[in-house]
Structure 1
Amino acid sequence: MSSPPESNLAKAASQSVAIPRSLSLKTKITGVMLLTVSAIAAIVHFPWAYTSRQNVDDMVSQINSELMNSTENEVGHLFENILSSKQLITSSLDEGLIQLDDPEVQGRFYLNLLKANENFTWVQFAFANGDYLGAQRRSDGLYNLIQRQWDDTLGAQAEPGSELAEVQAKRAEIADQYLQDQRLPADFETADKTVRTYQFQANNDWQILEESTGKEFYYAPIRPFYRDAFEQPDENVWTDLYVFKTGNAVGLDAATTYREAEDSPIRGVISISFELQQISQYLDELKDDGEGAIFITDSQGSVIASSNPLALSETFVGEGTNADAELLPLGQVEDPLLQVAYQAFRTNNIELNQLIGLQELTFYDSTTRQRYYIAVQPLGQLDWVVGTVTPESVFLTRINRSRNRLLIVITAFLGVGAIAAVWLSDRAITRPIMNISDAAEAIESGTFTKVSLDETINRRDELGKLARVFEKMAQEVYNREQNLKRQLQALKIEIDESRKSREVKEIVETDFFKDLKIKAQHMRERRHHNSFDKSSKEDA
């Protein structure tokens, strides 16, 4: 017998839904949104990273320019302050605001000037007769006022031919001899020395903390700043670097001679000085986080200051009364970065005494296996040169640091984007579509109701329109399905009756049924004959 029609329909239905499993719609939408966010992040990040790496040279040039300009401005500002302060002292003397023979007023004036200019180490006046009055800034924040006096009056001027003039001339002769053999006569009487230590008070006044007196050989005209100024009278003179008498610190002076009138003799020399260590401390503060190095040399390559003050600590202090400073050549400073600069200058034939403008170069050091950016240019003061040395890794570190920050932002953006994508896709797209999908399954299972699409039907967008169309279609499908079921039921009844007729016909047309029918006919005939015979006998 053939299979029932309904069983064939069921098989066809089961075959039609045998679809391979795949990712859910929610997963696909979330993935697409994440890929979109990631693509945007990549579009932002990779060009930025590439451009940053390519612009390292521009970054180096800009940073070196800023460092050099800051150094040049600071040193230039220092030199300008020194010159203007010397002019202020000269004007104050000319106008009688301070008197050379009044150490009290003159000393307070120098202390106030020193306090107002933090880069100054000394403000001093050296007299032609050998006397001296100067204010010193100490490293502990206190101030010394030092007075050295040979004669009864500070800075006394002797009349020609007088006994005092003979004493002063003999003193000058002994001082000149001392410069040659560093020896004094046994009966030579040295100058009186008075040292007063001051502290600046909150009420803008000076408080004396201690006072000491003694004897010391200090003859002002043999000091380097005095001799240099005396050789160029009435001019602003910068001394070479030398060892200061007090503290043995290495520094230099700006000095100028002073006379009370144009035709009068020189009364002495005004001098303002600063120590090299102060410049190195400024460079150390200027260099950010100790990355790279800034240095100042003279035209011969001797290091004057560096952003690594410890490497020059031995050059900040010297020995001897009038000794020149013993500066270290660039190649002998125990600083790896300055060594790199020295090697780079040698390799590229850079002569510091022939520099005209900015020189920038790169140098690969095989020892450290690093690439370095080096720049050098004249400082604009004296014969000094300022230079910078910066490892490439410094800039790469900054780039990597910025890249890491950007990656953190991108990661956070991706996280927020993922959460937003899931929420939005679920609420705006996936959930309505899943409602329609569930409705389709309900239609398949015969459990569909209008209520299942109410939430989606009320939407005013395309999905709402789709839900309304789907609901109408579902109703039509439902009605058609019910009609088909009724037709199928009627068809089944008709098929059953037809089948019964066919089966009866088949039975009737069999030989057995025919024989049985003939036998039945014979039996009916015999029964009828017997009945007739019985009836005849009764009649008879």
Structure 2
Amino acid sequence: MPIFVAVGVTGWLSFRSGQQSVEMLVRKLSEEVSDRIESEVATYMKQPQVFHELTLAAIRSGNLNVEDFGELERYFWHQMLWDDSIIYSYYGNEAGEFIGINVIDDGKRVLRIRQQESGSPRQTYELDSQGNRLGEISVGEYDPRVRPWYQNAKSFGKITWSPIYKFQSQDVLGITAVAPVYQPGGTLQGVFAINISLGQLSEFLNSLEISPAGAAFIIERSGTIVASSVVENLLVEGEAGQTDSAENPNRLLAVESINPAIQGTARELFARYNNLDSIQTAENFKFSLDGKMQLVAVTPIQDGRGLDWLIVAIVPESDFMGYIYENTRNTVVLSLAALVVASILGIAIAKWLIQPILRLSATAQDIELGNFDPNSLTEVTKRSDEVGQLARIFQDMANKIYAREQGFKNQLSLLQNETDKAKKAMLLTQMSDSSYFQQLLIKSKRTRSKAEEFQKIDVAELLKKVSYFHSFSDAEIQQLIEMGYRKILYPGEYVCREDEPGDAFYIILEGSVEIFVEKINKFLTNLGVGTFFGELSLLLGIPRTATVRTREDTVLFVLDREGLQKLLRNYKDLAEQIAQALHEHKAELESRKELLQKMGLLDDEEGFNQNPLGWIRNRMATLFGL
């Protein structure tokens, strides 16, 4: 009975454990698929918004003129070269003018442009590999102001997304990232736009290896499909009286998908939540579809700019339970056979054999623990059967093993002592070897020789190459050398680190350095002979914002705060040159405005914004007593 119960309970627990493990695995798989899709979609949809942010920043800084269509044409060309995932980047304004570069089906890029001086039709030109116009391809009517992307940007008044619509240039569904541009008075000037084809999302979903019958799709809150892992037409014919226009195409609902899993899951979603707008966090559930359990993971994806979709991953439990059912059948058959054999043999020999074998087992464990008692098997050795014979042999083997083990322990202890002595002797031999000290002496001579080479560097000649000291005479350069000092560093040494006080100005006389931000592990640039660094932090009295480390043997000329103060007092024209040079770094000063405010150095922010040069002069006068 115990064997019968044990086999039955073990088989049942094995099945339940396997079933639960599979369910956990399937749930985890569906969640990971959903997370992977979310990450891919977020990355894919974020890129156009980043481009718009950069474009608006370029306009605000005066680096991009939206009224110069030649400049816009070059801008769009380089934008598409930088990211080949962009299929169409363009701009339209309130005057009805339009310009954009589009990747057509054969991979060629074309320019589409409509200007007032060229008439109302939009012209299309083929572009070569350098972005030059080859010739006019076509002419057609086009008014950007009536397109859904332009209307949506005009309504929202900020960077956002258009509704999903059918592209006019290509008969595919897509969505457009739009960014309105306003004139200083607040009047809309035009709209920048970047098209994204939803077909690429469907291709990504189709490439995922979910499970043999698994599926994934993305829907809007209304239930219309955005992308699907199942190849199907997302544009459908409308009912009588409905029109299929580019602005309002007839799109496929998830509940009407040709895939039973997608169709059934969509119906289950509406039945569970009634209104898909109520799904604001990741949800997991399972339901039965045609008698088979389906595990579903639903993840909302929102970007705060109008994008509001649901990612749905479906994994049928049956894709994995087949292995469990097959294993269960084999386990039942083998368990029943083992049960019959074990029951018969167990009843026959248990009383006769088990006890002496247990005694042998206990003795073996004692030997392993080093607690062997030679008399522990005396009772068993008195038996005349095979067990008694086995016990006598075992006892004889145990005595020999125990004695041999003790001998091995003694030998191991002696060997350890000898090894320690040999190590000490070898160390003394190395220390007494004259070649060991000769190698150290050679290394020292090489280092000294390298330092002597650095001493021969013409510091005066290199200082003249620095822009601040172009006009200095030889005598003035010599006075400058006396105000600072030379510093020799070897590869991998840190010159200064971010957040440290800016207390020195460095000029590279020999070698090179790398500049990077440690906090975010971001490389910035490399500097070589004749260049300088550290002047901004020293002159404005703010901490270092980057770390500098040598890339090779490097010689620096260092001018500390005291030396710089003396230099500026002697050469007031130089102070004005440096102030003018710092004023040219407007973008860098703007980026450090928050740091200056935190340090209490920017009491008059309005004065800083209106006259940065005056603020720099006052700051230098305060720090250096000019």
Q: Which whole-Å CA distance do the structure 2 matches of 1:402 and 1:313 have between them?
A: 45
Match of 1:295 among 199, 217, 240: 217
Q: Map 1:179-218; keep pairs closer than 5 Å.
A: 190-199=120-129, 206=130, 210-218=134-142
The alignment status of 1:385 with 2:310, answered yes or no, reads yes
1:270 matches 2:192: yes
TM-score (norm: length of structure 2): 0.46
| CA deviation after TM superposition for structure 1 residue 90, in Å | 1.8
Structure 1 stretches lacking a partner, 5+ long: 1-43, 153-188, 200-205, 404-460, 467-540
Alpha carbons of 1:208 and 1:464: their partners in 2 closer, same or farther (altered >3 Å)?
Answer: farther
Pair 1:81 & 2:47 matched: yes
Q: Is the 8 A contact 2:92 2:190 kept in 1?
A: yes
Q: Which amino acid aligns with 2:313?
A: T
Match of 1:254 in 2: 177
Cα distance in 2 for residues equivalent to 1:301 and 1:216? 35
For residues 465 and 320 of structure 1, do their structure 2 counterparts lie closer, same or farther at Cα, with a shift above 3 Å needed? Answer: closer
Residues 1:109 and 2:61 aligned together: no
Give per-residue Cα distances to partners, 1:37-80, cap 9 Å, x unaligned: xxxxxxx9998775332222221221122122222222222333
Total equivalences in the alignment:
322
Letter in 2 for 1:108: R
1:26-175 alignment runs, 5 A limit = 51-152=17-118
Amino acid at match of 1:191: P
Give the secondary structure class of the aligned counterpart of 2:25. Answer: helix
Q: 8 Å contact 2:162–2:176 — kept in the other structure?
A: yes
Taking the aligned partners of 2:326 and 2:49, their CA distance within structure 1 comes to 45
What is the correspondence of 1:358-373 to structure 2 with a 5 Å cutoff?
A: 358-366=282-290, 369-373=291-295
Q: Is the 8 A contact 1:303 1:328 kept in 2?
A: yes
Structure ranking higher in helix proportion: 1
- Deviation, 1:252, is 1.5
Question: Is the Cα–Cα contact under 8 Å of residues 136 and 143 in structure 1 kept in the other structure?
Answer: yes
CA-to-aligned-CA distance 1:420-457 (integer Å, 9 cap, x gap): xxxxxxxxxxxxxxxxxxxxxxxxxxxxxxxxxxxxxx
Name which of 245, 252, 256 aligns with 1:332. Answer: 256
Tell me how far apart the structure 2 counterparts of residues 274 and 395 of structure 1 sit (CA, whole Å): 36
Give the match's secondary structure for 2:184. coil
Which of these residues, 156, 167, 176, is aligned with residue 232 of structure 1?
156
Q: Secondary structure at the match of 2:286?
A: strand
Q: Counterparts of 1:371 and 1:289 in 2: how far apart (Å)? A: 14
Separation in 2, partners of 1:264, 1:356 = 35
Q: Which runs of 4+ in 1 moved over 6 A?
A: 44-49, 318-321, 398-403, 463-466
Amino acid at match of 1:359: E
| Whole-Å separation in 1 of the counterparts to 2:215 and 2:302 | 20
Q: CA offset at residue 372 of structure 1?
A: 1.5
* Offset of residue 401 of structure 1: 11
CA positional deviation for 1:109:
2.3
1:248: how far off?
Answer: 2.9
Structure 1 residues 347 and 263, CA, compared in 2 at 3 Å: closer, same or farther?
closer
d(CA) in 2 for partners of 1:397, 1:145:
56
Deviations 1:68-127 (A, max 9, x none): 222222222233322211011122233343433444442232233234334433211112
Give, in angstroms, the shift of residue 274 of structure 1.
0.6
For residue 397 of structure 1, report the CA deviation from its aligned partner.
Answer: 5.4
Give the conservation status (yes or no) of the 8 Å contact 2:30–2:295: no
The two structures have a TM-score, normalised by structure 1, of 0.52
3-state SS in 2 of match to 1:71 = helix
Could you say which residue in structure 1 is the equivalent of 2:405? none
Alignment RMSD: 3.7
2:385 maps to none
Once the two structures are TM-superposed, the CA of residue 270 in structure 1 deviates from its matched residue by 0.9
Alpha-carbon offset, residue 221 of structure 1: 1.0
Matched residue, 1:442 = none
Identity across the alignment (%) = 19
Structure 1 residue 312 displacement after superposition? 3.0
Residues 341 and 213 of structure 1, relative CA distance in 2, 3 Å threshold: same
Cα distance between partner residues in 2 of 1:257 and 1:209: 28
Matched, 1:353 2:319: no
**Aligned counterparts of 2:269 and 2:196: Cα–Cα separation in 1:** 29
What is the Cα deviation at residue 136 of structure 1?
2.0
Conserved 8 A contact 1:124-1:135: yes
Q: Secondary structure at the match of 1:130?
A: coil
Q: Please, which runs of 5 or more residues in structure 2 have no aligned partner?
A: 1-9, 329-391, 398-626
Give the equivalent residue in structure 1 for 2:268: 344
The amino acid that maps onto 2:316 is P
Matched-pair contact (CA < 8 Å) for 2:235–2:250: no
Distance 1:148 1:284 in 2: 38
Pair 1:464–1:373, CA change in 2 (3 A): closer
Q: Does the 8 A contact of 1:311 with 1:335 survive in 2?
A: no
- Secondary structure (helix, strand or coil) at the match of 1:310 reads coil
